[in-house]
């Protein structure tokens, strides 16, 4: 009908980029891992041209690196990159908490609750890629509590970089510290403090989570992986990154 826009179905390139993004955020493709075209075309059921275009899409998002004559690989962030990204995130979230709590607009708080509910559903079905995405939405909703457009714009500019860091954090934590349910429970505790309206308590909670930070190059602690209950099987003295910034480990 006249006046209505046609919505085109996703292209092969979009679908391939979506699946590659999911594989990276879910930890199925590790940092630094080469993306072998022959294997991926067979796995995704597509030819090389749309696969290469999908890789270029993810290159623009910062999830993939493409090097002439060497091909594509999953991005591996340097320690300095991680520190910069996460200290900036920490500063932005702390400012949002200071400005936005106690919450005066119930709709903003509802966005936090909605994002957390989605996180819970993702954890129940062990959908790690979507758990990362919904985790970002939860933290984005916290930033939205301040009702500060420029603050939100700066945070949004870090979207893809934060997704990547949050994905690596989730995989490291799941392997060594906690299961997915515990991961979501930490965010539930944070929301409870936000709803209680005490910004100091929220800031303390964010700061306390710095002890589990993966800031130092996503280093794997020298201990046994987490058990089914989410606790380490052996000594935990190596779990703390000594100079980790506040609020970077959620």
DSSP 100: H
| 118-149 pLDDT, tens digit each | 999 999 999 999 999 999 999 999 999 999 99
How high is the mean pLDDT of the chain?
Answer: 84
- CA 222 to mean position of chain CA atoms: 24
At 239, phi and psi to the nearest 5? -85, -10
Helix (H, G, I), strand (E, B) or coil at 46: coil
- Percent pLDDT > 90 in the chain is 70
* pTM (global) more than 0.95: no
Residue with the bigger pLDDT between 76 and 8: it is: 76
Q: Which of 95-104, 154-163, 239-248 has the lowest mean pLDDT?
A: 239-248
What stretch of H or E contains 196? helix 180-196
Helix (H, G, I), strand (E, B) or coil at 34: strand
Per-residue pLDDT, averaged over 22-28, amounts to 94
Superfamily of domain 79-212: GntR ligand-binding domain-like (1.20.120.530)
Q: What residues does 34 pair with on adjacent strands?
A: 73
User: Which tokens sit at 70?
Assistant: 């060497």
Angle at 202 between CA 109 and CA 167, to 5 degrees: 80
- Percent pLDDT > 70 in the chain is 80
Q: What residues does 100 pair with on adjacent strands?
A: none
| 95-121 pLDDT, tens digit each | 999 999 999 999 999 999 999 999 999
User: Which tokens sit at 2?
Assistant: 């006249």
- Residue 130 is predicted with a pLDDT of 96
Q: Is 230 a residue whose pLDDT tops 50?
A: no
- Residue 42 is predicted with a pLDDT of 95
pLDDT band per the 50, 70, 90 thresholds, residue 226: very low
Give the residue among 238, 235, 218 at the shortest CA–CA distance from 174: 218
User: What is the CATH code for 12-74?
Assistant: 1.10.10.10
- Residue 216 is predicted with a pLDDT of 40
Q: Is 37 a residue whose pLDDT tops 60?
A: yes
Q: Is 45 a residue whose pLDDT tops 60?
A: yes
Angle at 170 between CA 247 and CA 84, to 5 degrees: 45
- Residue 247 is predicted with a pLDDT of 37
| 163-195 pLDDT, tens digit each | 999 998 899 888 887 899 999 999 999 999 999
Helix (H, G, I), strand (E, B) or coil at 116: helix
Residue extents of the structural domains in the chain: 12-74, 79-212
| 60-81 pLDDT, tens digit each | 999 999 999 899 999 998 889 9
Residue 173 to residue 189: CA distance in whole angstroms: 17
DSSP one-letter string for 12-23: HHHHHHHHHHHH
For 199, residues 6+ apart whose C-beta sits below 8 A from its C-beta are: 97, 98, 101, 102
């Amino acid at each position: 009908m006249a006046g209505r826009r046609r919505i085109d179905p996703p292209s092969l390139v979009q679908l391939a980029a979506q699946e590659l993004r999911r594989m990276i955020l879910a930890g199925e493709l590790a940092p630094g891992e080469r993306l072998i075209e022959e294997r991926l075309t067979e796995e995704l059921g597509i030819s090389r041209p749309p696969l290469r275009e999908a890789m270029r899409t993810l290159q623009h998002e910062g999830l993939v690196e493409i090097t002439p004559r060497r091909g594509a690989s999953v991005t591996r962030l340097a320690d300095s990159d991680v520190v910069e990204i996460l200290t900036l995130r920490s500063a932005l979230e702390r400012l949002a908490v200071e400005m936005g709590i106690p919450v005066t607009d119930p709709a903003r708080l509802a966005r936090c609750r909605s994002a957390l509910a989605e996180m819970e559903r993702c954890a129940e079905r062990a959908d790690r890629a979507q758990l990362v995405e919904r985790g970002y939405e939860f933290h984005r909703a916290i930033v939205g509590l301040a009702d500060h457009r420029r603050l939100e714009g700066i945070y949004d500019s870090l979207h893809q970089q934060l997704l990547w860091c949050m994905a690596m954090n989730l995989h490291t934590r799941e392997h060594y510290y906690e299961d997915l349910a515990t991961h979501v429970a930490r965010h539930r505790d944070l929301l409870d403090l936000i709803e209680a309206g005490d910004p100091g308590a929220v800031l303390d909670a964010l700061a306390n989570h710095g002890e589990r930070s993966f800031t130092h190059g996503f280093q794997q602690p020298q201990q046994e992986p987490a058990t089914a209950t989410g606790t380490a099987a052996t000594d935990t003295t190596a779990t703390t990154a000594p100079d980790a910034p506040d609020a970077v480990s959620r």
